[in-house]
Amino acid sequence: MRALVALVLGLATTIAFAPVSLFPLACLTLAALAWLWRDAATPGAAAALGFSWGLGFFLAGVSWVYVSLHDVGGLAAPLAALATFLFCGYLALYPALAAYLFRRFCTGEGYRDAGLFAAFWMLSEWLRGALLTGFPWLSLGYAQTPPSPLAGYAPILGSLGVGWIVAGCAALLAFAGRRLRAWGALAAVFVTGALLRGMDWTHPVGAPVRVALLQGNVPQSLKWRPEYLTLSLSSYLELAQGLEVDLVVLPETAIPLFFDQIPPAVLERLGGGKGLLLGAAVREREGAYVNAAVGLEGAGRQAYVKRHLVPFGEFAPPGFSWFFTLVDIPMSDFTAGPRRQPPLSLAGLTIAPTICYEDVFGAEVLDFFPHATLLINLSNTAWFGDSLAQPQHLQILAMRALENGRMALAATNTGITAAIAPDGRVLDRLPAFTRGVLRVEAQGYGGVTPYQRWGDALALIVGGLLGAPALWSRRNR
């Protein structure tokens, strides 16, 4: 029965994330989960509850994996369902680990156990984002983008630290909720977050730049078929016609050709003689190609090469090359770019580019700062159909804008193409699965946020220090 309750709590927690964004729910469901963990008979029993919660959470939250494998990739439904279940089962091991460690070291003292719960929760999310190339999607902090008052902590502690705060508040509710002092502490956390939201960590740099984000809405099922090449070309050429802007941005692999195969006349018409940033596959040598964001301005050319590739989508992990015989995934053998790459300079902006789900890794985005003045993400979310992936991805980009105090732009093939303010608010967006142009006044920003200076280290140190008293008390006992 308790395992079923934990499973339902996991399912319910996904409602805290986009598109519903009922952000207070994350704190409430986690409070119930924390109580279940401490009340478990053994650490192993707590781990089982953690696994049940994780299974419900990820099966609901990343259900788009099935859509990508079956609806778009063509994998047989039973195999796609099995692969999705196994993947979610793997992800559920991380909350199971947090549960085991918490139950193993909890003391029965409310405040100390709250610190311990939050510390182990953060540790599990940090490991999930680092091991086996990492998958930090749906980390708890992402649910706290505006209007949540906890968004104010993002420029200081990052999404990992915001998730730690949510876990700590949930544990306080579970273990010390009957004490007036605990309610005072909770109120202080939320009021401080709301006040921090009003702080300007960065400042405008230069004049606003006119940018056009093109959303071609080309179905993935047609995109890579040679007979439909003209569909992609005509879609983006029509959208680019007559634009009076300083920079035109096309999404990831917008034109289904290698960059050297795109006629120069097409590139000239897309950019309209101004700056152009487009996603394209670029051949480096015979048999080797990269996923790149190519910037063109005048006679100059710059390129950013995607660093963090998607396993089973852009490369096969060792021993899994057979996987691509079961699915229809074109361009699935990319080469990763180097870790250190400079920002792109276009139309007077210094751009921190990310491609597809690279922007999920907040610590990696920091490599572009403090020099970059604007974030731009190029994605082809057609791979995920009409699923939760699009609003979740937009929420992730909003967190990156918050952490870095920079405006962020999302250029996607099928949606959601959007402009986000440095405080994480979505300023404007195009409807998903429509063809259109989003015109944006992109303002560059300069300055350094505490998160840019310290990365995830600050959250890990603070969380570890506040979790240490429980471990020390347990050791003395």
CATH of the domain at 225: 3.60.110.10
Closest C-alpha to 363, from 158, 117, 156, 79: 158
Terminal Cα distance for the chain, rounded: 32
Report residue 342 as tokens.
């400079």
State the catalytic residue, choosing from 88, 356, 358, 403: 356
Q: Which two tokens stand for residue 335?
A: 């080469």
Rounded distance between C-alpha atoms, residue 142 and residue 223, angstroms: 31
Same domain, yes or no, for 292 and 406? yes
* Residues 52 and 131 grouped into a single domain: yes
**Catalytic one among 106, 125, 169, 252?**
252
Nearest by Cα to 414 from 386, 395, 440, 438: 386
* One-letter identity of residue 417: T
Q: Which of 306, 314, 358, 403 is flagged as catalytic?
A: 306
What is the total count of domains within the chain? 2
CA–CA distance from 55 to each of 48, 61, 86 (Å)?
10, 10, 10
To 10 degrees, what angle do helices 457-476 and 110-128 make? Answer: 130
Q: Which amino acid is at 20?
A: V
Q: How far apart are CA 387 and CA 142, in angstroms?
A: 18
Residues 282 and 375 in one domain: yes
Q: Say if CB 168 and CB 114 are below 8 A apart.
A: yes
Give residue 317's pLDDT: 72
- Cα 370 to the center of its chain, rounded Å: 20
Tell me how far CA of residue 320 lies from CA of 15, 79, 311, 317, 357, in angstroms: 34, 15, 10, 6, 21
219 in the same domain as 131: no
Residue 225 and residue 331 in one domain? yes
**Do 392 and 286 have their domain in common?**
yes
Closest CA to 196 of 156, 163, 159, 168: 156
Of 354, 360, 312, 349, nearest to 337 (Cα)? 354
Contact 306, 377 (CB under 8 A): no
Question: If DSSP states are collapsed to H, E and C, what string results for 46-65?
Answer: HHHHHHHHHHHHHHHHCCHH
Do both 422 and 310 map to the same domain? yes
Residues 101 and 179 in one domain: yes
Active-site residue, 252 included:
yes
Could you list the residue range(s) of the whole structural domain that residue 71 is in? 2-199+455-476
Distance CA 461, CA 467 (A): 10
Helices (H), 72-179: 77-105, 110-128, 154-176
Alpha carbon distance 305, 341 (integer Å): 8
Q: In the prediction, which pLDDT does 157 show?
A: 97
CB-based contacts of 60-64 (< 8 A; 24+ apart in sequence): 60/10, 60/11, 60/14, 61/13, 61/14, 61/17, 61/137, 61/138, 61/388, 61/392, 62/87, 62/88, 62/91, 62/137, 62/138, 62/388, 63/387, 63/388, 64/384, 64/385, 64/387, 64/388, 64/389
Cα atoms found within 13 Å of the Cα of residue 150, Cβ hemisphere only: 26
Q: What is the pLDDT of residue 347?
A: 93
- Partnered with residue 282 across adjacent β-strands are 290
Asked if 467 and 116 touch (Cβ cutoff 8 Å), the reply is: yes
Q: Is residue 384 within 8 Å of 67, Cβ to Cβ?
A: yes
- So what's the pLDDT on residue 444? 97
Are residues 265 and 354 both part of a single domain? yes
Distance, CA of 209 to CA of 212 (rounded, Å): 10
- 191 and 212 belong to one structural domain: no
CA distance 463 to 123: 9
- Asked if residues 118 and 467 have their Cβ atoms less than 8 Å apart, the reply is yes
**Domain check: are 412 and 431 in the same one?**
yes
pLDDT in tens, the chain (477 residues): 899 999 999 999 999 999 999 999 999 999 999 999 999 999 999 999 999 999 999 999 999 999 888 887 788 899 999 999 999 999 999 999 999 999 999 888 888 899 999 999 999 999 999 998 999 999 999 999 999 999 999 999 999 999 999 999 999 999 987 787 889 999 999 999 999 999 999 999 999 999 999 999 988 767 777 777 888 888 999 999 989 899 999 999 888 889 999 999 999 999 887 899 999 999 887 768 899 999 999 878 999 999 988 887 776 676 666 665 666 666 667 888 998 999 999 999 999 999 998 999 999 999 999 999 999 999 998 888 888 999 999 999 999 999 999 999 999 999 899 999 999 999 999 999 999 999 999 999 999 999 999 999 999 999 988 888 767 766 655
> Taken in order 12, 18, 23, 27, is the CA torsion positive or negative?
positive
Strand-strand pairing, 349-355 and 408-412: unpaired
Do 177 and 209 have their domain in common? no
Q: Is 274 annotated in the active site? A: no
The sign one gets for the Cα dihedral 5, 140, 164, 100 is positive
Whole-angstrom distance, CA of residue 280 vs CA of residue 270: 14
pTM here is: 0.93
Angle of helix 457-476 relative to helix 154-176, nearest 10 degrees, comes to 30
Identify the three-state secondary structure at position 315: strand
- 223 annotated active-site: no
User: What is the per-residue pLDDT for 335?
Assistant: 85
pLDDT tens profile 325-347 = 666 666 667 888 998 999 999 99
Q: Which residues pair with 354 in a beta bridge?
A: 377
